[in-house]
Structure 1
Amino acid sequence: MIGEILVVDPAQSPVPDTVTQLFDPLQTKFTTFPNITSLCIYLSTYASYTFTKGPAGLERTSNVDEVELDHFVGLLINTDKHGDGSALDRLPFAQQQKLLSYRFHHLNLVVECLSLSDAQVGAKLCEHFVPTLHKIRNLIKTRLLRVQTWVGLTDYDKIPQLNTMPTMLRTTVDIPTGMEYITLLSSDIRYIELLKIPHDDAYYKKKIADWEFHAFELTNDELLYCGYLMILRVLKDYKAEFQTPEFHNRVLLFFFCVRDYYRQGNPFHNFRHAIDVMQATNYFLETIVESAYEFQFGTHERLALLLAAVGHDIGHPGTTNAFLSSYKTPIAKIFNNESTLEKYHLAQYLNIMKCFFVKDDRCVEIARWSILATDMAQHDMYVGEMDRIADYKERPEKLKLMCAIILKSADISNVCRPIGEGVKWGLSLGNEFAEIAQLESVLKGEAPVQRSAVPQVSLAKITPHEAVQMEPKLGASQMFFINRFALDFFTKVVQIIPPLSCLSRELHKNIDFWQVTGRTGN
C-alpha cells in the first residue's frame, strides 16, 4: 500500500521506530521537514502526486507526467518543539493543522499534531491516523474508484479529509481567516521560484497572443505561468498597489491554489482546459479592445472574465450532469439536479476567489453569470437571447449577456481552433466520455470494480491524420457537436461581435477537413 508520511520536526530527530513500523518500508516514503514553510514549499512544488519505485526506493514522478494522486498522504507535526522561524512556523499547532488541511485538502491530507517522544505515540496513531490513511488509499487507488469517490458513490462521508465534491463545499474558512492564510503563505514563500519555466516572458506572451495556442506542448508549470502573465497584463492598468512584487506573489499563489483543485487525471476537464479557455477569453478581449467595436469591456470586467475563465471547471470530477443525476449523487441532490456541475464549480471557486479578491463584488457577479452560462443544457436559451440582443438597451443588462457569450465561446472554442489543436481536444473529450461509459458499466455490474480506466497517450505531437487513425469516429463526433451546438452559435457570435470573425473562419475550415478527411478516415 503505497503512501507518503511527512513529518514536521524543528529538532530534526529521527522518526521513532514505533511510528515507522506502522508502515511497510518498501511502500511508504518518509520525509522530514524542519518547519512548516519548507513543507508548504515541498507540497506546492509538485503538480504530479504519485510515485515510482526507483533504486533508492519510492521516488516522486516528474511534473511532466501529470499524474493524479493515487496514494495516501499523512502529516505528523511534532509538538515537542515549536518552530521559531517565519510567521507560519510560529503559528500555534492547532492553527498550523487548520491551515495545512485547508490549503492542501486536494491531497486528502490527514494531519496529526502530537509528541513523537511520547511512549504511546504508536498506539495513538493506530486509533485514527493509520486507519484513516488505509481507508483513503482503498478509495483512490484506481482511476474509476477515484471518480466514484469524488462524486460521492463510496463511503466518502466517513472520511472528512477526502477531497470529494460534497466535502469540498463544507471545507471552507471564513474570508478573514482565508485572507490571513494567504498573507502568511505569500509572505513566507516566493512562488515564482517553485516553477520550472524554461523560456523567457516573450516566448509565452507570443504563445498567448496566438489563436493557435499549443496548450498540449506546455507543462503544468508553463500553463500556470501563462495564466499569471494574462492577469498581469490586465493588472497593469490598475493602481500602484497591484504592481508590487508582493501582490504579484499573491497572484501566483492564487494560480497554485486553482491548479491544485483541478483533477490532474481528467482527460479533458483539467487545468490545461482551464488555461486554454482563459487564453481564448484573453484573445477575444484583446481583439475587441484593439477594434472599433461599439461594446467595450472595462478593465475590471476583463479581469473578472479572465478569473471566471480559469476557474469555470474547478473541481470537475470527469463526469457529466446527466451521470450525476442518473446515479442520484449527493452533489446532484444538493443542487436539485439543475446545472449541478456549474453550480458546484462556482461555489468552490468563490470560496477561493473571495479570499484573494474580497473587495471585488463585481468580479464575483461576473463570475456567477459567466460560469453558470457554460451549462450546455442552457445553450439553446442563450442562442435565443443572442437573437434579441438588440432589445438590450441598458448596459448592465447587455453586459451580462456579453459576458456569457465570451465565456461560452471560449469554453467550446476547440472546434474553432486550427485543426492541429482541435483534434487533440476532440480526442481528450472522447477519452473522458469513454471513461464515463466504463464507470457506468462498473456501477451496473457489467464490469469488475477494479477495471482500469481508458489508457491515456500523449497528444502533444499528434497530427490530425494520426488522430483520425487513432479514433476513426472522431470526425463524426466533431461534426455532431458542430452541427448541434457550434455552427449556429458561432455564426451569431460573429454577427454580434464582428472582430471575432476568426471563429467562423476556422470553424468552416474544420468543417471542410472533417467532411473530406474525418468521416472517411483517409
Structure 2
Amino acid sequence: MYCVMIQREKPTPSLQNRRYPSMARIHSMTIEAPITKVINIINAAQENSPVTVAEALDRVLEILRTTELYSPQLGTKDEDPHTSDLVGGLMTGSLDQLDEVAALIAATVHDVDHPGRTNSFLCNAGSELAVLYNDTAVLESHHTALAFQLTVKDSKCNIFKNIDRNHYRTLRQAIIDMVLATEMTKHFEHVNKFVNSINKPMAAEIEGSDCECNPVGKNFPENQTLIKRMMIKCADVANPCRPLDLCIEWAGRISEEYFAQTDEEKRQGLPVVMPVFDRNTCSIPKSQISFIDYFITDMFDAWDAFAHLPALMQHLADNYKHWKTLDDLKCKSLRLPSDN
C-alpha cells in the first residue's frame, strides 16, 4: 500500500459504462476461499481432462487434503454461490486446461514462505534472499523457486512427476510468469498491456468502431498470458473488493505488518521504505483510500470490463465509502470508536 494520490485518467467510456455478459466469466480466485470449494472444482475439472492433467490434479488434491485448512465436513454445507462463481469462473472460457492447473497452483504458492517484509526491506537489509536473486523480484522469485523445490524433495509431493517434459515446461513457465506478475514494480505495465490488448479491441468489436486496434484473440498465447497475469494480480490485492468485515480485518493485518517493518527499519538504521506506516501517526483510512485510488480502481475497472464482476465492484464501492467516511471524520483507525 502506498499513500500516493494521483490524477487518474477517466476510463474509456465503453469500458466504464458497458458490461459484457456474453464473455467468459474468468474470475479472480481469492486464496482465502474454502479449500473444500477448490477441491470440489478440481474434482469436476478432472472429469473431462486428459490423463496427464487429471493425474496432476490428483496430486494437487492429495496435498490439499493433508492441509489443516481442509475440512471434509464443509462439503456437506450449502453452496456459497459467490465463492463457487469466483472459483468456477477460472475453469471456463479463455484458458486451456493446462493453464487452469497453472493458475490454481500459482494462486496456492504465490506467497509461500513470505517473511512479512517487502522486497525493498530485504534489499536494504542485504538479506540472503536479496543477494541470491540480485535485488530483483526477490520474494516472488523465492515463492516460485521454493514451490518447485518442495515438489522434487519428496515424490509424494511431486505433483508434476507424471507429466511429460513438454507439458511440464509449459506448466512451470506459466506458474512462474503468474507469480512474478504479482511483483508491483511492473503493475502499471501489466495493466496497460491488458487494457490495450484485451479491453480496447473487445470494446471495438462490440461497438463496431473504427478503432485501430488488433482484433481481440483471447485464445492467442500472448493474450492468454496477459489474462492470467491480470487474474492473479487482481486476486493478490483483492482485499478492497471483499465484504466490508473481511476488508477491515485484512486491512488491519497488512497495516500491522507494515508497522512492524517500519519499527524494524528504525531499530536497524535502515531506510524507512514506507514512512506513512508509522504506528504512531498512520491514518489507516487514508492509506486504504490512496491504495484504492492508485492501484485498485483502474485495474478492477479493466478486469470487470472483461469478466463482469458486479458483486466485487459493489464491495469495492462500499469499502471505499467506509474509508472515506472515516477519513472525513478525521478517524485514523479501522472503525469509529463507537463501533468497536
The normalised TM-score by structure 1 is: 0.43
Q: Counterparts of 1:431 and 1:320 in 2: how far apart (Å)?
A: 13
Q: Counterparts of 2:150 and 2:65 in 1: how far apart (Å)?
A: 11
What is the aligned partner in structure 2 of residue 442 from structure 1? 267
Q: 1:384 to 1:281 in 2, by over 3 A?
A: farther
Within the candidate set 79, 88, 100, 1:286 is matched to 88
Query: 1:317: Cα distance to partner?
Result: 0.9
1:387 aligns with 2:195: yes
1:356 aligns with 2:165: no
Within the candidate set 270, 287, 293, 1:477 is matched to 287
Q: Counterparts of 1:420 and 1:504 in 2: how far apart (Å)?
A: 16
Query: 1:371: Cα distance to partner?
Result: 0.4
- Give the counterpart letter for 1:488 in structure 2: D
Contact 1:234–1:302 (CA under 8 A) maintained in structure 2 = no
Q: 1:518 to 1:287 in 2, by over 3 A?
A: farther
Contact 1:234–1:303 (CA under 8 A) maintained in structure 2 = no
- Unmatched 5+ residue regions in structure 2? 1-26, 70-80, 153-157, 202-213, 271-280
Give the structure, 1 or 2, with the largest relative contact order (CA under 8 Å, sep 6 or more): 2
Q: 1:242 to 1:404 in 2, by over 3 A?
A: closer
Q: Deviations over 1:90-146 (max 9, x none)?
A: xxxxxxxxxxxxxxxxxxxxxxxxxxxxxxxxxxxxxxxxxxxxxxxxxxxxxxxxx
Contact 1:405–1:493 (CA under 8 A) maintained in structure 2 = yes
Contact 1:285–1:302 (CA under 8 A) maintained in structure 2 = no
Q: Counterparts of 1:308 and 1:236 in 2: how far apart (Å)?
A: 22
Q: Counterparts of 1:334 and 1:212 in 2: how far apart (Å)?
A: 31
What is the aligned partner in structure 1 of residue 113 from structure 2? 315
1:49-448 correspondence runs (5 A): 215=32, 224-238=35-49, 248=58, 250-255=59-64, 283-284=85-86, 286-287=88-89, 296-353=94-151, 355-358=158-161, 359=163, 360-361=167-168, 362-389=170-197, 390=201, 391=214, 393=217, 395-444=220-269
The normalised TM-score by structure 2 is: 0.65
Within the candidate set 296, 311, 314, 1:502 is matched to 311
- Give the counterpart letter for 2:143 in structure 1: H
Query: 1:344: Cα distance to partner?
Result: 0.8
- Give the counterpart letter for 2:294 in structure 1: R
Q: Counterparts of 2:247 and 2:91 in 1: how far apart (Å)?
A: 26
Query: 1:307: Cα distance to partner?
Result: 1.0
- Unmatched 5+ residue regions in structure 1? 1-209, 261-278, 446-470
What is the aligned partner in structure 2 of residue 489 from structure 1? 299
Q: Counterparts of 1:234 and 1:352 in 2: how far apart (Å)?
A: 25
Query: 1:236: Cα distance to partner?
Result: 3.4
Q: Counterparts of 1:314 and 1:257 in 2: how far apart (Å)?
A: 16
Query: 1:342: Cα distance to partner?
Result: 0.5
Q: Counterparts of 1:435 and 1:515 in 2: how far apart (Å)?
A: 25
Query: 1:409: Cα distance to partner?
Result: 0.7
Q: Deviations over 1:254-288 (max 9, x none)?
A: 2378889xxxxxxxxxxxxxxxxxx9997445236
Query: 1:513: Cα distance to partner?
Result: 2.0
Q: 1:282 to 1:399 in 2, by over 3 A?
A: farther
Larger radius of gyration: 1
1:506-521 correspondence runs (5 A): 506-517=315-326, 519-520=328-329, 521=331
Q: Counterparts of 1:283 and 1:506 in 2: how far apart (Å)?
A: 16
The structure carrying a bigger strand percent of its residues is 1
Contact 2:191–2:299 (CA under 8 A) maintained in structure 1 = yes
Q: 1:334 to 1:282 in 2, by over 3 A?
A: farther
Percent of pairs identical after alignment? 22
